[in-house]
Structure 1
Amino acid sequence: IGSGSFGEIYSGTNIQTNEEVAIKLENVKTKHPQLLYESKLYRVLQGGTGIPDVRWFGVEGDYNVLVMDLLGPSLEDLFNFCSRKLSLKTVLMLADHMINRVEFVHSKSFLHRDIKPDNFLMSLGWQVYCIDFGLAKKYRDSSTHQHIPYRENKNLTGTARYASMNTHLGIEQSRRDDLESLGYVLMYFLRGSLPWQGLKAGTKKHKYERISEKRFLPQLRPSVEVIQQNLHHTSITAAH
Structure 2
Amino acid sequence: MVMDLLGPSLEDQFNKCGRRFSLKTVLMIADQMLERVELMHSRHLIHRDIKPANFVTDGGRGSGNFIFCIDFGLSKRYRHPRTLQHIPQREGRSLTGTPRYASINNHLGVEQSRRDDLESIGYVLVYFLKGGLPWQGLKAKSATKKYKLIMEKKQSITIPTLCQGCPSQFAEYLAYCRSLKFEAKPNIAYLRGMFRDLFRSQGYTNSNSSLDWDWNRIDSASGGNQTSSSSGPPQGTDPHGYGGGMGQHQGAPMDQQDYGGKRN
The TM-score normalised by the length of structure 2 is 0.62
Is 1:138 aligned to residue 77 of structure 2? yes
- Residues 72, 121 of structure 1: 8 Å contact kept: yes
State the match for 1:100 in structure 2.
Answer: 35
Is 1:205 aligned to residue 144 of structure 2? yes
Is 1:91 aligned to residue 18 of structure 2? no
Is 1:78 aligned to residue 21 of structure 2? no
Encode CA deviations 1:93-132: one digit per residue, 9 max, x unaligned: 0000000001111000000000000000001321000000
State the secondary structure of the residue aligned to 2:151.
Answer: helix
Higher strand share: 1
Report the identity percentage: 57
Displacement of 1:226: 5.0
Separation in structure 2 between the aligned mates of residue 235 and residue 170 of structure 1, nearest angstrom: 39
What letter matches 2:12 in structure 1?
A: D
Displacement of 1:230: 5.3
Is 1:155 aligned to residue 94 of structure 2? yes
What letter matches 2:114 in structure 1?
A: R
State the match for 1:219 in structure 2.
Answer: 161
The TM-score normalised by the length of structure 1 is 0.68
Separation in structure 2 between the aligned mates of residue 209 and residue 185 of structure 1, nearest angstrom: 20
State the secondary structure of the residue aligned to 2:163.
Answer: helix
State the secondary structure of the residue aligned to 1:161.
Answer: helix
Deviation larger for 213-222 or 103-112: 213-222
Is 1:116 aligned to residue 43 of structure 2? no
Displacement of 1:224: 6.0
Q: Which has the higher contact order (CA 8 A, sep 6+)?
A: 2
State the match for 1:6 in structure 2.
Answer: none
- Residues 115, 162 of structure 1: 8 Å contact kept: yes
1:166-177 correspondence runs (5 A) = 166-177=105-116
Unaligned runs of 5+ in 2: 173-193, 206-264
- Residues 187, 224 of structure 1: 8 Å contact kept: no
Deviation larger for 87-96 or 225-234: 225-234
* Pair 1:226–1:138, CA change in 2 (3 A): closer
Unaligned runs of 5+ in 1: 1-55, 57-66
Displacement of 1:209: 1.2
- Residues 88, 190 of structure 1: 8 Å contact kept: yes
Separation in structure 2 between the aligned mates of residue 189 and residue 71 of structure 1, nearest angstrom: 21
Deviation larger for 75-84 or 224-233: 224-233
Deviation larger for 174-183 or 203-212: 203-212
Separation in structure 2 between the aligned mates of residue 181 and residue 107 of structure 1, nearest angstrom: 18
Higher helix share: 2
CA RMSD of aligned residues (A): 2.0
